[in-house]
């Protein structure tokens, strides 16, 4: 009874489901954060107490490998979708399956990713929590028996809520859902996505607190000459983003060549990561916030937090740029489970820290401290890797509560985004889908055409030509009207179609002017029906290379209802796209 009442109004249904999804996503984010902390304690503190007496500090080499074995088995046995980033898998579900995601994915993804991160995997929280929130949202949509468009919108609600709760960034969550997942800046269900994001943030705040994700000093530009240096940082960030994407997928290709069971590949990756982490502890885990170090010591700040405070040496920052790219590529390439947002922030922070410290040394009077450049670099590198300049700008401001560097952030993120897409067409998320043969942007265009019926856009009063008219008379009509083709009728019934291309070859014949239209018209017609959608018709038009088709009654193919032209399709597509922006 309650379900029937909720479904009576679209607004009521949207509000109810978005609040439910937001609340679930918020609680899911809290539990996921607790799980990560718990597994960090289990692996690094408890594992250290057990293994250190026998292996000394070398025990950290085994931790990612042990975690990798558990993660590999979980994914292989229960949900292969839980492998990798998480975000591309949700995008695939939205594009190919109408937003339907198996409910078990949220459980397996939360376990696999928390174990991966907890055991030292060099990945982030955003990919897993997006997949967790989205699968929960999909389950709610299936429980309410909602149609495809509603399900897709609820998946966006789950994404926004998950990001909002995890990073304490409600507006950034909305932008992430729209810009990264939906590939557009606005959607009809925007208000519901916003409600879900706010709800998730409210639910998570009592457990995770209201402090920003990063605590930074108040930085500001020393001089407007600094804009030139921030332009340079934007270019460096774009190049770094491209290098990150290329290396990550090269690692994935490398591990795909290994001929042994899939569930053992994360073990191999874990051993490589553990060896690297033995020498450079800062590559383990997310890289910022509280965590356990090898030996079991708990620290409240990671390397990225220190870079934002300007407390890491210049060449320490530079080395961590390369080390983090390698570590994340090994973790994900070998089959680990985790996101690329946090690694992108880490890489950008270290790049900015090095860049700022280097130029501050030579131009101390006009260059701010390195922490300011670390902050801007965080947003710039993610803008390049994720094709998300708006999300980067908004989330960076929300995660730091620092508005003083808005101009440098906008400058660097925009340049990084433009440069990275000029060098690589696809970003770090869509590259994975393209490698599976899925073009998200093309699918979005197809979705537009699937929703438009022929009768909505055809020209209904298109002029016709009599079958008995002479070709000479028709030639004059072509000249006067500018049309390139007409339906041909006899006694009001469709019997063919005539185009300028049909007439041109016969003008070389003697007496062509006296020929009748029906003698040269095309009688084997390609037609469309009023109830068809444009995606079906445009395929036939493309195959036959024709610019117009007559629209007929499905039960009477001689009854002409109108004409559909390429211009009609283009006009309808443009109008629909503009309404979606």
Output the average pLDDT for the chain.
86
Whether 292 is covered by a domain: the verdict is: yes
Instruction: Examine the domain organization and report whether 346 and 254 are in the same domain.
Output: yes
Whether 214 is covered by a domain: the verdict is: no
Looking at residue 499, its pLDDT comes to 86
Looking at residue 537, its pLDDT comes to 83
**491: domain CATH number?**
3.10.580.10
Is the pLDDT assigned to residue 329 strictly greater than 90? yes
Looking at residue 577, its pLDDT comes to 58
Instruction: Examine the domain organization and report whether 469 and 407 are in the same domain.
Output: no
Section 477-488 average pLDDT: 84
pLDDT interval class at 519 (50, 70, 90) = confident
SS3 533: strand
Instruction: Examine the domain organization and report whether 427 and 458 are in the same domain.
Output: no
Instruction: Examine the domain organization and report whether 408 and 537 are in the same domain.
Output: no
Domain boundary, last residue among 385, 406, 438: 438
Whether 535 is covered by a domain: the verdict is: yes
Looking at residue 446, its pLDDT comes to 60
pLDDT interval class at 540 (50, 70, 90) = confident
Q: Give the range with max mean pLDDT: 122-131, 143-152, 197-206, 431-440.
A: 197-206
Is the pLDDT assigned to residue 13 strictly greater than 80? yes
Looking at residue 127, its pLDDT comes to 81
Section 455-477 average pLDDT: 86
Q: Which residues make beta-bridge pairs with 490? A: 493
Is the pLDDT assigned to residue 473 strictly greater than 90? no
Whether 215 is covered by a domain: the verdict is: no
Whether 394 is covered by a domain: the verdict is: yes
Instruction: Examine the domain organization and report whether 196 and 256 are in the same domain.
Output: no
Instruction: Examine the domain organization and report whether 149 and 71 are in the same domain.
Output: yes
Which residue did the predictor score with more confidence, 535 or 448? 535
- Rounded CA-CA distance 475/520 in Å is 13
Of the candidates 432, 341, 336, the one whose C-alpha atom is nearest the C-alpha of residue 114 is 336
Q: Which residues make beta-bridge pairs with 548? A: 565
Looking at residue 244, its pLDDT comes to 96
Is the pLDDT assigned to residue 346 strictly greater than 50? yes
The residue to which tokens 């073990």 are assigned: 267
pLDDT interval class at 9 (50, 70, 90) = low
Whether 219 is covered by a domain: the verdict is: no
Domain boundary, last residue among 405, 438, 471: 438
Q: What percent of the chain has pLDDT over 70?
A: 95
Looking at residue 145, its pLDDT comes to 81
Q: Which tens digit of pLDDT belongs to each residue from 311-324? A: 888 899 999 999 99
Looking at residue 117, its pLDDT comes to 93
Instruction: Examine the domain organization and report whether 188 and 328 are in the same domain.
Output: no
**137: domain CATH number?**
1.10.3080.10
Q: Which tens digit of pLDDT belongs to each residue from 561-580? A: 999 988 888 788 777 655 55
Q: Strands 528-529 and 556-565: what pairing? A: unpaired
- Structural domains of the chain, count: 3
Q: Which residues make beta-bridge pairs with 497? A: 487, 522
Whether 289 is covered by a domain: the verdict is: yes
Is the pLDDT assigned to residue 439 strictly greater than 60? yes
- Rounded CA-CA distance 244/390 in Å is 20
- Rounded CA-CA distance 37/39 in Å is 6
Residue 77 CB neighbours (<10 A) = 10
Which of the residue ranges 230-244, 370-384, 533-547 would you say has the lowest mean pLDDT?
A: 533-547
Which of the residue ranges 9-13, 125-129, 226-230, 241-245 would you say has the lowest mean pLDDT?
A: 9-13
Instruction: Examine the domain organization and report whether 200 and 302 are in the same domain.
Output: no
Section 296-304 average pLDDT: 85
Q: Which tens digit of pLDDT belongs to each residue from 33-84? A: 999 999 999 998 888 788 777 888 888 999 999 999 999 999 888 877 777 7
Instruction: Examine the domain organization and report whether 95 and 178 are in the same domain.
Output: yes
Instruction: Examine the domain organization and report whether 135 and 253 are in the same domain.
Output: no
- Rounded CA-CA distance 580/24 in Å is 28
Whether the Cβ atoms of residue 92 and residue 443 lie closer than 8 Å to each other: no
The residue to which tokens 């060449």 are assigned: 315
Section 6-34 average pLDDT: 85
Q: Which domain holds residue 279?
A: 226-438
Looking at residue 581, its pLDDT comes to 45
Instruction: Examine the domain organization and report whether 35 and 156 are in the same domain.
Output: yes
Instruction: Examine the domain organization and report whether 199 and 230 are in the same domain.
Output: no
Whether 444 is covered by a domain: the verdict is: no
Looking at residue 374, its pLDDT comes to 92
pLDDT interval class at 411 (50, 70, 90) = very high
Q: What percent of the chain has pLDDT over 90?
A: 39
pLDDT interval class at 441 (50, 70, 90) = low
Report residue 16 CA to chain centroid gap.
Answer: 26
- Rounded CA-CA distance 20/196 in Å is 8
Q: Which tens digit of pLDDT belongs to each residue from 354-377? A: 999 999 888 888 888 888 899 999
Is the pLDDT assigned to residue 16 strictly greater than 60? yes
């Amino acid at each position: 009874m309650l379900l029937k009442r909720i479904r009576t109004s679209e607004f009521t249904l949207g509000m109810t489901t978005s609040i439910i999804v937001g609340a679930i996503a918020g609680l899911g984010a809290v539990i996921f954060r607790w799980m990560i902390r718990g597994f960090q304690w289990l692996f690094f503190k408890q594992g250290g107490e057990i293994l250190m007496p026998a292996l000394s500090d070398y025990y950290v080499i085994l931790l990612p490998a042990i975690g990798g074995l558990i993660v590999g088995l979980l994914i292989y046995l229960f949900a292969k979708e839980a492998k990798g980033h998480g975000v591309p898998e949700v995008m695939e579900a939205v594009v190919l399956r109408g937003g339907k995601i198996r409910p078990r994915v949220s459980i397996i993804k939360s376990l696999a990713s928390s174990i991966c991160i907890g055991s030292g995997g060099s990945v982030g929280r955003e990919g897993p929590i997006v997949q967790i929130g989205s699968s929960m949202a999909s389950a709610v949509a299936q429980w309410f028996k909602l149609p495809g468009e509603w399900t897709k919108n609820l998946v966006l609600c789950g994404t926004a809520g998950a990001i909002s709760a995890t990073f304490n960034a409600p507006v950034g969550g909305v932008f992430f859902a729209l810009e990264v997942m939906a590939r557009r800046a606005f959607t009809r269900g925007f208000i519901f996505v916003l409600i879900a994001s706010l709800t998730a943030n409210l639910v998570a705040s009592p457990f995770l607190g209201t402090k920003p994700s990063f605590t930074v000093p108040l930085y500001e530009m020393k001089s407007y000459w600094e804009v030139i240096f921030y332009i340079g940082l934007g270019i460096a960030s774009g190049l770094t983003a491209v290098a990150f994407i290329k290396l990550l997928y090269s690692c994935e290709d490398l591990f795909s060549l290994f001929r042994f069971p899939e569930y053992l590949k994360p073990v191999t990756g874990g051993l490589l990561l553990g060896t690297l982490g033995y020498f450079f502890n800062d590559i383990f885990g997310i890289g910022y916030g509280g965590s356990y170090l090898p030996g079991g010591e708990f620290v409240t700040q990671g390397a990225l937090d220190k870079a934002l405070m300007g407390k890491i040496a210049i060449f320490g920052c530079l080395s961590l740029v390369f080390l983090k790219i390698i570590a994340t590529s090994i973790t994900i390439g070998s089959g680990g489970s985790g996101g690329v947002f946090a690694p992108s922030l880490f890489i950008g922070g270290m790049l900015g820290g090095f860049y700022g410290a280097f130029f501050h040394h030579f131009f101390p009077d006009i260059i701010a401290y390195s922490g300011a450049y670390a902050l801007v670099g965080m947003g710039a590198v993610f803008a390049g890797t994720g094709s998300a300049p708006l999300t980067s700008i908004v989330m960076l401001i929300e995660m730091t509560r620092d508005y003083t560097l808005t101009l440098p952030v906008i400058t660097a993120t925009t340049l990084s985004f433009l440069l990275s897409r000029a060098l690589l067409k696809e970003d770090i998320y869509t590259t994975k889908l393209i490698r599976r043969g899925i073009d998200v942007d093309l699918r979005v265009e197809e979705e537009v055409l699937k929703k438009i019926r022929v009768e909505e856009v055809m020209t209904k009063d298109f002029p016709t030509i009599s079958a008995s008219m002479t070709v000479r008379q028709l030639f004059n009509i072509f000249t006067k009207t500018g049309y390139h083709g007409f339906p041909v009728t006899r006694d009001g019934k469709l019997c063919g179609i005539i185009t300028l291309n049909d007439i041109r070859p016969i003008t070389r014949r003697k007496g062509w002017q006296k020929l009748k239209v029906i003698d040269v018209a095309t009688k084997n017609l390609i037609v469309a029906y009023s109830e068809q959608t444009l995606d079906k018709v445009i395929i036939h038009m493309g195959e036959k290379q024709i610019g117009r088709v007559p629209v007929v009654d499905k039960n009477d193919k001689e009854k002409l209802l109108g004409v559909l032209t390429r211009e009609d399709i283009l006009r309808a597509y443009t109008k629909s796209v503009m309404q979606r922006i």
